[in-house]
Amino acid sequence: MSFTYKRATIEDIDMLTKTRIEVLRAANRLSDDADMSEVEKQSRIYYEKALCNNTHIAYLVFDSIGNENCFVGAGGVSYFQVMPTYHNPSGNKAYIMNMYTKPEYRRKGIALKTLNLLVEDAKSRGITAISLEATDMGRPLYEKYGFLKMKDEMELPI
């Protein structure tokens, strides 16, 4: 199999938004009739802004041989800034999200290659640590890649 990895542009916003909803349905085990209209609307607004100001990059992956450029996977990284710290003097951070490979294409190296592209982009920006939220399915890949479980972070649902 041969795959094409395309860095998404604003022209890909429909596919990015559709993929985001597909990823969220799969990750949260949501049925097709769960209302995702507000998430879809807000995701589109997010992509419109973030792709233009370069605070998010995404890759779309296509099967370029057997399925006439059929979409098979994606991944993205969001960039943001927090207050500088001793371990992160710039305060610049990266968060990997929207990693997805269609079930029939899993275990073919697509997620690893996508992750490599995203990590390299973050490194080129001087990012010193990348975080992500892992599903049970994705955790082995991230651990093998070198991601570590965070000890001190907490969240308050409000």
56-82 pLDDT, tens per residue? Answer: 999 999 997 765 678 999 999 999 999
Task: Report pLDDT for 96.
Answer: 97
CA distance 136 to 51: 29
Which CATH number belongs to the domain containing residue 46 in this structure?
A: 3.40.630.30
CA distance 122 to 102: 25
CA distance 50 to 136: 28
- Residue showing tokens 């892992």: 134
CA distance 126 to 83: 16
pTM of the predicted structure, to 2 decimals: 0.90
* 98: confidence class by pLDDT, cuts 50, 70, 90: very high
Residue 157 included in any domain: no
Tally of domains in the chain: 1
Sign of the alpha-carbon dihedral angle for 6, 7, 8, 9: negative
For the cut 70, the answer to whether the pLDDT of residue 94 exceeds it is: yes
Residue 154 included in any domain: no
Residue 150 included in any domain: no
What percent of the chain stands above pLDDT 70? 97
Domain span holding position 13? 3-145
E strand or H helix at 135, and its extent? none
* 108: confidence class by pLDDT, cuts 50, 70, 90: very high
Q: Say which residues have a Cβ less than 8 Å from residue 29's Cβ, sequence separation at least 6.
A: none
Residue 79 included in any domain: yes
Q: What is the mean pLDDT of residues 135-154?
A: 88
